[in-house]
Amino acid sequence: MDWKMFIDGDWLEAESKETILVYNPADYSQTGTIPRGRGVDVDKAVLAAKRAFYSSAWRAVKPHERGWLLYDMAKKIREQKDELAMWETLDVGKPLKQSYADVEAAARYFEFYAGMADKILGETIPVEPGLVDFTVREPVGVTAHIIPWNYPLQIGARSCAASIAAGNTVVLKPAEDTPVTALMLAQFFDELGVEKGVVNVVTGYGHEAGAALSGHKDINHLTFTGSVEVGKMVMKAAAENIVPVTLELGGKSPNIVFADCDLEQAVEWVVRSITQNAGQTCSAGSRLLVEASIHDAFVERVKNKFEELTIAPGAQDPDIGPILTEKQFNRIISFIDIARNDAMVVTGGERYTSGECMNGFFLKPTLITNVDPTSRLAQEEIFGPVLTVFPFETEEEALELANGTEYGLVTGIWTQNISRAHRLADQIQSGQVFINNYGAGGGIQMPFGGYKQSGFGREKGIEALRNYTQLKNIAIKFQ
């Protein structure tokens, strides 16, 4: 299918008329084309969003009416769940059941922020007699959203919904590899009759359209999810125009497993947290810290579970689908090569080519032990179904290992000792801490973001609305 960009209420080709091919990562068959947007196309989108933001039509839309729009979006997403899920699978490669979960999460984001649209409140501040002082939260203006390739529907929905709830206008730039469901969201807004320019989607390469958007002088806030390296470039570009940013830059998240935990439940979630979307998840539980007394037995359980998982094209709804690109696959293999020399590969670590997997880049889930905590395997985000294991003797050692990277996005703690769980949660350097669970069903209401190089700012929940509002203080003297 040949897609177009959505700018100012119209479906447009790129100014250059150039296109980018889009592929199904399961077999590298072509699924369509998208416009190759560049700076001139970004200019059109930002101008449309700016014009819409200051228009009397958009300003006349009451907060509860914005909520109705978002509720209608949630309804439409659920009505089109089959098509959305299939396109998410064709774009990203993930198993259909995971795509359906993403569709439901997207609908829930729009529902959640629909309910918040008329509840963005200020407060009164006692200053002195004869003075009424109060604050109001106003929309920031044009918000830019550069969304990654691994969860385009979910991440596009969560930031777009929050921004619109607060009264802003948006410009989304999806990844060139996985653009379709973001364009489908634009299509739904169009069908619902949203004001022209309120929602815009520009497609193109990151170094062209993405760079133009992050450095644009007329945006008022930028949300970016991606790598640390690109996040730094995005932040520098935005800083030139004094534009605030929200950055979510990945993780090296640990599951900390104590001997007194529910072992079956822990194994289930440890495996799920590293194999979902073939490990191509910023919050993946990519490090396993296991109390030494159960280390060998627990590793054996994980190994057995890994070897039971099915691998196939996402449309067949296996446990694990393909790695998105050959480049990403080769990067993962380079880490496994390090493990073969410096650690121990317990299982996996090889390309899977059986049946219909011949033309895609499928990887057997990989379990690695005997890892040096200071090595690249332990410190760098691999972004694949690769789990590194570290034994510990004491609670203090577990804490040191957990905090021993430059990332701090998510942590899982598995123990029946509630005091221990609280002690660790208190000292873990991580934006989210889960005790005897991991992920909490998507956590729509739960603030999400990181410490250290995992970024700053928070998405999801009520907290995300702070990204998309600015505070104004008003003081009235009446004596």
Q: Give pLDDT, residue 441.
A: 61
Q: Chain-centre distance of CA 130, in angstroms?
A: 48
Q: How far apart are the C-alpha atoms of 410 and 254, rounded to whole Å? A: 7
The helix/strand/coil state of 143 is: strand
The 10s digit of each residue's pLDDT in 206-264 is: 999 999 999 999 999 999 999 999 999 999 999 999 999 999 998 999 999 999 999 99
Report strand pairing: 5-7 vs 469-477: unpaired
Are 371 and 343 a contacting pair, CB within 8 Å? Answer: yes
DSSP class of residue 16 equals T
221, β-bridge pairs = 143
DSSP state at residue 209: I
342-355 tens-digit pLDDT? 999 999 999 999 99
Residues designated as active site: 248
For β-strands 410-414 and 254-257, DSSP reports them as parallel
Give the chain's length. 479
Tell me if 322 sits within 8 A of 177, measured CB to CB: no
- How far apart (Å, rounded) are the C-alpha atoms in residues 32 and 29? 9
Amino acid at 376: R
Non-local (6+) Cβ contacts of 168 within 8 A are: 53, 139, 140, 141, 142, 143, 220, 221, 468
Task: Tell me where in the chain the CATH 3.40.309.10 domain(s) lie.
Answer: 254-442
Structure tokens given for 93: 């490669």
What are the tens digits of pLDDT across the range 103-145?
999 999 999 999 999 999 999 999 999 999 999 999 999 999 9
CA distance 146 to 353: 33
| Domain 254-442 sits in CATH 3.40.309.10 | yes
Of the candidates 98, 436, 423, 140, the one whose C-alpha atom is nearest the C-alpha of residue 281 is: 98
Backbone angles phi, psi at 93, to 5 degrees: 100, -5
Q: Are 132 and 125 in contact (CB under 8 A)?
A: no
* Greatest C-alpha distance within the chain: 82
| Spatial contact of 244 and 221, defined as CB atoms under 8 Å apart | yes
* pLDDT score, position 439: 83
Token pair, residue 45, equals 């989108």
Q: What is the pLDDT of residue 440?
A: 67
**Assigned token pair, 51:** 């014009």
For the CA atoms of 428, 433, 436, 441, what is the dihedral angle to 10 degrees?
-160
pLDDT at 479: 77
Given a contact cutoff of 8 angstroms between Cβ atoms, the answer to whether 307 and 366 are in contact is no
Q: How many CB atoms lie within 10 A of CB 60?
A: 9
Per CATH, the number for 5-249+457-475 is: 3.40.605.10
Flag residues of the chain having pLDDT under 70: 440-442
SS3 393: coil
